[in-house]
Chain A
Amino acid sequence: MTNKVSFDPARRGALKCLAFGGAGTLFTLSAGILTPIDLALARNGDPDKTANAGVPLFVQISDTHIGFNKDANPDVIGTLTRTIALVNAMPKKPGLVIHTGDITHLSKPAEFDTAALLLAQLNTELHTTPGEHDVADASVTEYFSRYGKPSQDRGYYSFDHSGVHFVSLINVLNFKPNGLGNLGAEQLEWLEKDLRGRSASTPIVVFAHMPLWTVYAPWGWGTGDADQAMSYLQRFGSVTVLNGHIHQIVQKVEGNITFHTARSTAYPQPNPGQGPGPGPLKVDAGDLPKMLGVSNVTLKRHPAGISLADTTLA
C-alpha cells in the first residue's frame, strides 16, 4: 500500500511513445475521495500533484465503439489497442478495468467478438455496463449473452474490491420519448437494498453509461430518475459516480459525491448543444489523440481516499 508516485520518468517516456489513440482515466483512492488525475498533466510534470496518487484501483475505459468506421476515426481498433498498451505499460497495473459502455457501435456479434479479443489483452478483471449502442439490436440479446452473467441479465449488480463497494447500473433501456436515461423503479429498489446496512465510511463507486446527472437535457445527456439514486448515496463519505456516453470529460462535485464522465477511446463528440446532435466530431488527425482517453483510479490507505487520473494518447 505504497503512496509512492507511479508517474516515474520511464513511464513518461512510455506515454510519449504513444503518438495516437485513446487512453482512459486512472482512479486513486486518497483521503476518502476518488479524484481524477489527468495523466497527460502528470506526464508533463507537477510531481507534487501526482506524488500522492496512491495505489491504482481501477482503470475506466469507455465508448470504444468497435465497428465505427467513419471519418472521425477510421481506426477504432487501433486506438483501443493503443489504449490497452498504455494500461498494460502502467508500472502498477490496476486490478480492475471498468468499461462504461458503448463497447460496440451497432451491437453486431462480430463487433462484440472483436472487442472481446482486444479487451482480453488487458488480462485483468473486467466489469461492464452497456451503452445504448450495445443494446441496439432489436432483440437486445447480444450484450446480455456475453456480459449478462454478473447481473443475471438484469444489467445492474454490485461487487467489492479493495474495500471499495462498486455498483454497476444500467440506464440505457426503456427510453421515454424526449427522455433522458432511465433506471426504473425495480433497479432503484434494488439499489436502496444493496446500499442499506453498509457503513457510511465505505468508499462507493457507481458506474453507468449515461450521465447520472443532467449534462444537457436536449440531447438526452442525463438520467431522469438519477436523483432518487443519489438520495441513497448521500450518507456515504466517499462516492464516485462514473459514466461515459458523451465522449468528453465533464466533472462535478456535489457534497461527498464526485461525478466524472470519461473520454471515448474512439472519437470525440461536440460540446453540448453545438450542432444538430451528439454525433461524431471530426477533428484534425493530429488533434484526435488529445480528445481520446481512459481514466485510472488509485487507492490510498492511510488516510483512505480515492483519486482519479485521465490519460490521453496525445
Chain B
Amino acid sequence: MKIKALFLTSVLLATSLGARAGETVISIHEFMFSPTAMTVPAGTTVRWKNLDGEPHTVRSLDATFKSDALDQNDSFAFKFDKPGTYRYVCSIHPQMVGTIVVKGTN
C-alpha cells in the first residue's frame, strides 16, 4: 500500500514536472538539484524545473550551458551530445551543486 502510494506519488511528480518525451527531468526543490548526480547517454536532453518560490539558475562551471533565472515552475533544457562530466551550480545559491555525466553511445 505504502509502496503503491509512493509509486503513484513519483508518477504524479514526474507528470507535474512536465517531462517531455525523450527528456530527463531534474527537479529543483528546497534549494537542491534532485537528483544531484545523474548519468545519461549522449544525446539526452536534460530539463531542470524549479519548484521553489525562490528563483534558481543552472550554470555549468565550464560555461557549456547556462540558464536565465528560473522562477517557480520555469524550466530550462539542454541536450548533451558530448560525453564528459559537467559540474554545475545555481549562480544565485552556489551551495547548490550538481553533476551530469554523459556517456558515449558505442
Contact = CB atoms under 8 A, between A and B. Distances in A.
Interface of A: 70-72, 105-108, 132-133, 135-138, 175-180, 218-220, 276-280
Q: For B31, B32, B54, which residue has the most chain A Cβ atoms within 10 angstroms?
A: B54
Nearest to A105: B55
Contacts of B67: 138
Among all A-B residue pairs, the 7 with the closest Cβ atoms = A277-B31, A175-B94, A136-B69, A276-B30, A279-B54, A106-B69, A177-B97
Interface of chain B, main secondary structure: loop
Contacts of A135: 91
Interface of chain A, main secondary structure: loop
A294 B31 CA distance: 28
B93 interface: yes
A70 B53 contact: yes
Contacts of B69: 105-108, 133, 136-137
Given A137-B68, A279-B54, 13 more contacts: A105-B69, A106-B55, A132-B92, A138-B66, A177-B89, A218-B95, A219-B95, A220-B94, A277-B93, A277-B95, A278-B54, A279-B31, A279-B53
30 contacts: A105-B55, A105-B71, A106-B55, A106-B68, A106-B71, A107-B68, A132-B91, A132-B92, A133-B55, A133-B92, A136-B55, A136-B91, A136-B92, A137-B69, A138-B67, A175-B94, A176-B94, A177-B61, A177-B89, A178-B97, A179-B94, A180-B94, A218-B95, A220-B94, A276-B32, A277-B93, A279-B31, A279-B52, A279-B53, A279-B54
A177 B97 CA distance: 6
B92 to A, nearest CB: 5
A2 B30 CA distance: 51
Contact of A178 (B30, B92, B94): B94
B87 interface: yes
Given A70-B53, A279-B53, A138 B87 contact: no
A135 B52 CA distance: 19
Interface residues on B, range: 20 to 34
A157 to B, nearest CB: 22
Contacts of A278: 31, 54, 93
A133 B89 CA distance: 14
A133 B32 CA distance: 18
A177 B94 contact: yes
B31 A276 contact: yes
B75 interface: no
Interface string B63-89: 000111101100000000000000101
Contacts of B52: 277, 279
A135 B31 CA distance: 19
A176 B88 CA distance: 9
B70 to A, nearest CB: 9
Interface in B1-56: 30-32, 52-55
Nearest to B98: A177
